[in-house]
Amino acid sequence: MIDRYTRPEMGAIWTEQRKYETWLEVELAVVEALAEMGIVPAEDAAVIRERASFTVEAVRERERVTDHDVAAFVDVVAASVGEAGRWIHYGLTSSDVLDTALALQISQAAPLLVGGARALRDALARRAREHAHTLCVGRTHGVHAEPTTFGIKLAGFAFEADRNLRRLEHAFEQAATGAISGAVGTYAATGPELEERVMRKLGLRREDVSTQVVPRDRHAELLQAVALAGAGLERLATEMRHLQRTEVREVEEPFRAGAQKGSSAMPHKRNPIVSERICGIARLLRGYQQAALENVALWHERDISHSSVERVAIPDALILLDYAQHLALRVVEGMRVYPERMRRNLDATNGALYSQRALLALVAAGRTRDDAYRIVQRAAQRAFDGESHFRELLAAEAPELDLDAVFDPAPFVRHADAILARLEAFDR
């Protein structure tokens, strides 16, 4: 992933240096387990632990000869140890190292992404409580529908963020799975006991049935959870973009006045660029999910058609989601909310958005539903077209109505506290 979209802590997990460090961690755990099982002499295991090393440059140079990255790595590490280096990679196949090390890297990324998801959920919950009673327009099909509150709107995003948090937690947990089962996954060279010992040392679960590779449905599930989390961020960002339009202007992204420039040509511009960036990133995440799904079906016990895909897709997807989460957090924590503009927008249809209240009042007063609907529809659409205020038109069409009750906004706010009380589940 390009530096522009990479946060340093997450990016560090996916460097070439870290990748080889993780490979070495797996190789050393195997040597230690073999020593415990009496296969590797204790003194050789101690020498390996003390001396085993590599440089990225040395591995690259050796790979020019071997045309095989794991073989090149093993050669370099074994040479750094000396005679005892013969025990490096003993009984292993490349996938034992690659898949187990990948599980370690995924496990290292998990706290960052799960923590980011939790921080976003909590920020949304805080802003939802802040605006529990901030009346605004609710829209369906992009058109004014009925009043709601901005707090209720944000609460919906908070619960979606919580669902994405739970999905990520589960996906990372099941993806933290390794295998030390040897060629074709038969354990013929070492036996299941070695795998059990190594996974315990590394803090990973054992694959139930390895076919030399860890089945790729695990990685597909992870990238599916990542893509869903990205889609949730996109929904939030899309809402922000609509609410920041000049004709609406109920909410704006944070903007650093005096420093930030919204346009190279138009100094007045304050564009929702962060939200737009999030939407673009979500498209990439969906693409990586598709690639991960296509990786599931490998030939027989294994092939390596998945390898080239994963070298790009898994690091990029996790780096991008981490970055997008922090963009969204910045937007939520710093967004400017304009309650007065929300109030003015509530009047844009001349009161027509109270049509359901009028319909129900007429039905309660004895009109048939169809008659009531036609009366209200005529008046509401004339108000929508700007002929007069809905209240005045209704007074002429249905004088029996209690118009103060019909146009009371309190019912749209009344249950906000009860809805937002559900956010307390996050505090437990």
By annotation, the residues acting in catalysis are 141, 263
Place of tokens 């009380």: 421
Alpha helix segments (H runs only) across 269-368:
273-294, 305-334, 339-346, 355-364
Dist CA 208 CA 215 (whole Å) = 10
Dist CA 129 CA 171 (whole Å) = 30
Chain-centroid distance of CA 202 in Å reads 26
Dist CA 44 CA 35 (whole Å) = 9
Contacts of 59 (CB under 8 A, 6+ apart): 20, 69, 72, 73, 76
Contacts of 201 (CB under 8 A, 6+ apart): 29, 32, 33
Structure token digits, residue 236: 């939030």
Contact predicate 48/84, CB 8 Å: yes
Dist CA 1 CA 322 (whole Å) = 12
Residue type, 341: R
Contact predicate 81/129, CB 8 Å: no
Q: Is 118 exposed, middle or buried (0-12, 13-18, 19+ CB in 10 A)?
A: middle
H/E segment holding residue 124? helix 94-130
Residue type, 235: R
What is the phi/psi pair of residue 266, to 5°? -120, 100
Nearest to 30 by CA among 172, 199, 208: 199
Cβ atoms within 10 Å, residue 389: 18
Contact predicate 325/233, CB 8 Å: yes
Cβ atoms within 10 Å, residue 363: 15
Q: Say which DSSP state 37 is in.
A: T
Cβ atoms within 10 Å, residue 80: 16
